[in-house]
Chain A
Amino acid sequence: MFTFTAKDLTFSAIFIVLMTIGANITFWLPFLAIPIGGVNVPLSLQPFFAILSGLLLGRRLGVLSMTGYLALGVIGVPVFSQLQAGPFVLFNYTGGFLLSFVLISFLSGFLKEKLPVTNLKSLTTITMTSTIVSYLIGVSYMYLAMNVWLNLNVSYAAAWISMIPFLIKDLVLALLLASIALRLLTQLPHLKNGRR
């Protein structure tokens, strides 16, 4: 059976904290809010940290730590973006993106076992696939949420069209984040060999 060392637990806990900081990174770095159609959309480093959690902790611990992050938010600790908390955040139309972090973490932990993470190409593959998977889940969930419990009738296509500007933003971001991830992994070499 899988046994957890104390180190596994503390490192996974640290990733919960990093997710909280990543969600609200614009508190410290207000320049990271980028204008899309006249509105300043605050950038979030959450997907980035979710991917890193998979890369550094491995898929098992990554999934557990992302679950812990969601659970912490659901019980009311303000860990989500804009310091939101509570079960309703998951039921809001953007809740699917939060749920997708668990899968992203698993996915990047899984891909790490297949690809060498020390070159830019495979890191880009990982960040790009994760972004796309996150949108697949997020937008489908948004469509579901709007039609089933928020009483807003929106077609599936309309849901996608409204999210396309964000998707483009996040794909560009994924490219940049891949290079940042590479720099992090090489500047902090002892992180490279996560436990599993």
Chain B
Amino acid sequence: MASSLIIGQYVPEESVVHKLDPRTKIVMIFAFVIFVFFANNGWSYLWLTAFSIGAALSTKIKLRYIARGLKPVWFLIVFTFLLHLFVTREGDVLFDIIGFPIYTGALIQGVQISMRFFLLILVTSMLTLTTTPIEITDAIETLLHPLKKVKFPVHELALMMSISLRFIPTLMQETEKISKAQASRGVDFRTGPLKERIQAVVPLLVPLFVSAFKRAEELAMAMEARGYKGGEGRSKLRELEVRARDYLAVVVFILMIVGLFLLRDM
């Protein structure tokens, strides 16, 4: 189970994608998420797939590793495909499966929507594969900076996210430890009516809350001891910097989008 719970599956490699500024990556990935919805025929999907696989290859991460990361979502992709296959009724009847007529329109739509899903998942997973969580939260802080004007606590939000990243693995281990400890003390997690099973959550939650809040308390104290007093005037060890390769990546990306719109009309 532990291996399926790898959080922020960052893979360190020496690739162009890794070296890009995290802000560039976030902006491009979000643009991609929007433009995927503009693909409308086989060619445009093929074009986007080629681009995404090209991008995946350029990270120098083994494709097998990336595919393993996508494991939990294969089910979702297949499910979406089947849902469309049976629900949509457009075009001609292609063939019957145990009394269910399959339409050509359904097949096309099913393939398109599951392709869309696949592309979205592949490209968005690229961000966490090539960027450390700290870089991501730093990038968010600078990208959302304009929101400060409307008094939105951008710095606080970003810091909160970094802190939680640090504690997700710790508290997950803690949960596992507590559930084993309580089971060994005879808390019955397995049998009985639903009501009792849900009540059995209490011996898990109470120690979890105590330990979680203790950690929060200690961290807050450590922050205060080191003189934390909000985002104003706080300097950074690693400043984010936009370089030539970022501009190049954006140009390549824009060319890809132009290509997409040309293929749309084919």
A positions within 8 Å CB-CB of B: 1-14, 16-18, 20-21, 25, 27-29, 31-32, 34, 43, 45, 64-65, 67-69, 71-72, 75-79, 82-88, 149-152, 173, 176-177, 180, 183-184, 187-188, 191
In whole Å, how far is B150's beta carbon from the nearest beta carbon of chain A? 13
Whether A21 lies near B172 (C-beta < 8 A) is: yes
B167 contacts the other chain (CB 8 A): yes
Q: What are some 14 contacts across the A-B interface (CB < 8 A)?
A: A9-B163, A11-B220, A13-B163, A25-B201, A28-B179, A28-B204, A65-B160, A68-B160, A76-B127, A77-B136, A77-B168, A176-B199, A184-B202, A191-B213
B244 contacts the other chain (CB 8 A): no
CA of A161 to CA of B112 in the docked complex: distance in angstroms? 28
B positions within 8 Å CB-CB of A: 1, 4-5, 7-8, 26, 30, 33, 37, 72-73, 76, 83-84, 87-88, 109, 113, 117, 120-121, 124-125, 127-128, 133, 136, 140, 151, 153, 156-157, 159-161, 163-165, 167-168, 171-172, 175-176, 179, 189-190, 194-195, 197-202, 204-206, 208-210, 212-213, 215-217, 219-221, 223-224, 228, 230
CA of A28 to CA of B179 in the docked complex: distance in angstroms? 7
With contacts A4-B153, A12-B160 taken as known, whether A149 is within 8 angstroms of B179 at the C-beta atoms is no
Whether B72 lies near A83 (C-beta < 8 A) is: yes
Whether A13 lies near B5 (C-beta < 8 A) is: no
In whole Å, how far is A64's beta carbon from the nearest beta carbon of chain B? 6
| Most chain B CB atoms below 10 A, which of A3, A12, A14, A173 | A14
In whole Å, how far is A152's beta carbon from the nearest beta carbon of chain B? 6
